[in-house]
A and B are shown apart, each in its own frame.
Chain A
């Protein structure tokens, strides 16, 4: 169900259509763009840059995996960025080694979680695992709320996740009065270290990806996802527990965001209430441009991987060209529109073909 059937050869412009509809379209695009950019920015092909590029790709890919699941059931999760921010703050608030009272004495967490000589679990041996567990739990919780609001209250997904995004973002800022919690234990910050190809980030992302793809292609749950995204009414009649599946899907999306947050927070060495804000567009853009459709029923983890690579490559190239920040934003916006346009075209071709 995850494969697109190649249309039968019919007209002269068949080759472009076949390329467009191919699973590897975005990969081709990446390689093509990469090759195109090398003469202009030779540094892009250096091992240093490539390793940098990939170390940025892994956590982004991890989040996008969750988004892919949500897109397959024809939903959308706009709250992932805020989940990253909130979980970053919560994790840090549990294990910061030293907290500056001048900065944090007004925070609502002061005296309960944050103390001058460290956060509440700062010196506990189980501190880091508990903090990680808490972050994941919060991600699951927010996902649960999103899922219930979408499947039981029947509020449109974009609205639900927009609201939860706002709420979580505000909550994160509220908890730390807009300040970053620093002084995280080295045990935690090591997670984000760039230990060559097999960094923790890479392992987390790949493990998530493999598990996610296995679920999609090998389990009942995965088949149910595609069924719901294709025709939810037919799925209901066929006995698919659509509401439960929806809730779990959004929970998984929250989980992925939290997992990525672990990597991002450990890399920055701080709990940052605005950590996830700039990421949302990359997440959605990556998933959609890779081929997962906004209208549901279609999607693969590999496609999302290609999409994320493409977007990161684009960002990488732009920053290497020293393009000012606002141009990057303009390009990102254009890319989102392009991704949506591509999706519209592909869907039309897909539906037309028998």
Chain B
């Protein structure tokens, strides 16, 4: 039994890539058009803003937490940005203000979770609701269109559309932070074993606060990308994003239990996978409403695999009393009865 378990583990760990290839082949077989190169760049383009949110979400998930409020953060950022633009604020200033607003909302999460110690899903559920309300307050529930200069979503930088450039930059920075800075490695450590992290002297409060601020900032940045592509901020802006971001991260191999996952290739594959599934369903002319259901099933599959992997890992890590001693030290002992 142990052997099958040991073999299952690498399979589970490489699930993202396997899934990606499998689904790609599946959809291509079902509809030839899927295979086209144009489709591929379309996939990346549409998924850029969700991808940025998912990168931020990855940070949070790595510590074993969750951020349900990213959609609301996006709405607040969008509201501030759109309103300022409407009132004539120059573009850089409006964007900066929006980014600050969104990041501040992330700071609120950081405070509630790291300092006040409210559990993550509850805290972010609260900030999700309050945040949406705040956004509606700022926009007075209006649907606000943004001026032309903000609609730079189609512009290119060195031949690559801007949204993709920004996404790639975010992934690059996140990758560097997670893999090449002390904070990044400490985030992984804390997610793996919070007690050992405290014992080792890591500032777990600071690390927790950091990931939620990062998540807030990413959501804010994603908003800029989204608005540049969509051209307006409606009252349902950002709704449901948290789900897609969590799904992308978990599909990409990030564990809900913390300590496992990476932004590249992991979350990136997860994002592309989600978008690919969505695109594929559209090509196959699957009912729009059915798509959400399928997305939910996909997410369930992802978290199911995650929980399975965690159980297997726990079992393998259990300390064995009987170790194959091998030749040498310990002599075989005859039981004595008296």
A and B from one complex: yes
Among B125, B141, B292, B308, which residue has its beta carbon within 8 angstroms of that of A336? Answer: B125
Among B112, B141, B291, B310, which residue has its beta carbon within 8 angstroms of that of A337? Answer: B112
In A293-344, the 8 Å CB interface with B consists of 294, 324-334, 336-337, 340-341, 344
In B167-217, the 8 Å CB interface with A consists of none
Secondary structure call for the A interface: helix
Residues from chain B with a CB closer than 8 A to the CB of A160 are 303
Residues from chain A with a CB closer than 8 A to the CB of B291 are 170
Q: A166-B296, A326-B134, A330-B134 are in contact. Are A340 and B289 (CB under 8 A)?
A: no
Q: Is the CB of A153 within 8 A of B304?
A: yes
B126 at the interface (CB under 8 A from A): yes
Number of interface residues of A (CB under 8 A): 41
B133 at the interface (CB under 8 A from A): yes
Q: A171-B293, A173-B289 are in contact. Are A336 and B311 (CB under 8 A)?
A: no
B46 at the interface (CB under 8 A from A): no
Residues from chain A with a CB closer than 8 A to the CB of B38 are none
Q: A166-B243, A326-B141 are in contact. Are A341 and B303 (CB under 8 A)?
A: no
The 0/1 profile, CB within 8 Å of A marked 1, for residues 116-149 of chain B is 1111011101111111111111000100000000
A159 at the interface (CB under 8 A from B): yes
The 0/1 profile, CB within 8 Å of A marked 1, for residues 22-63 of chain B is 000000000000000000000000000000000000000000
Q: Is the CB of A325 within 8 A of B299?
A: no
Among A153, A173, A281, which residue has its beta carbon within 8 angstroms of that of B129? Answer: A281
Among B129, B243, B287, which residue has its beta carbon within 8 angstroms of that of A174? Answer: B287
| Chain B residue nearest to A155 in the complex (CB) | B307
Q: A170-B293, A174-B289 are in contact. Are A329 and B129 (CB under 8 A)?
A: yes
A177 at the interface (CB under 8 A from B): yes
- For A167, A281, A329, the residue with the greatest tally of chain B CB atoms inside 10 Å of its CB is A329
Residues from chain A with a CB closer than 8 A to the CB of B141 are 325-326
Q: Is the CB of A163 within 8 A of B136?
A: no
Residues from chain B with a CB closer than 8 A to the CB of A333 are 126-133
Among B121, B126, B307, which residue has its beta carbon within 8 angstroms of that of A334? Answer: B126
Q: Is the CB of B118 within 8 A of A340?
A: yes
Q: Is the CB of A158 within 8 A of B66?
A: yes
> How distant is the Cα of A177 from the Cα of B296 in the complex, in angstroms?
18
In B192-249, the 8 Å CB interface with A consists of 243
Residues from chain B with a CB closer than 8 A to the CB of A326 are 132-137, 141
Residues from chain B with a CB closer than 8 A to the CB of A213 are none
Q: A174-B290, A325-B136 are in contact. Are A163 and B296 (CB under 8 A)?
A: yes
B264 at the interface (CB under 8 A from A): no
Q: Is the CB of B129 within 8 A of A155?
A: no
Residues from chain B with a CB closer than 8 A to the CB of A340 are 118-119, 122-123, 126
> How distant is the Cα of A326 from the Cα of B296 in the complex, in angstroms?
28
Given A326-B135, A333-B127, A337-B118, 10 other A-B contacts at CB below 8 A? A164-B296, A166-B295, A166-B299, A177-B289, A294-B119, A333-B131, A333-B132, A336-B126, A336-B129, A341-B116
Instruction: List 30 A–B pairs whose Cβ atoms lie within 8 Å, in order of A's numbering.
Output: A76-B121, A153-B304, A153-B307, A156-B307, A158-B66, A159-B303, A160-B303, A162-B243, A163-B299, A163-B303, A166-B296, A166-B299, A167-B297, A170-B291, A170-B296, A281-B129, A294-B119, A325-B141, A326-B134, A326-B135, A327-B133, A330-B137, A333-B128, A333-B129, A337-B118, A337-B123, A337-B126, A337-B130, A340-B123, A340-B126
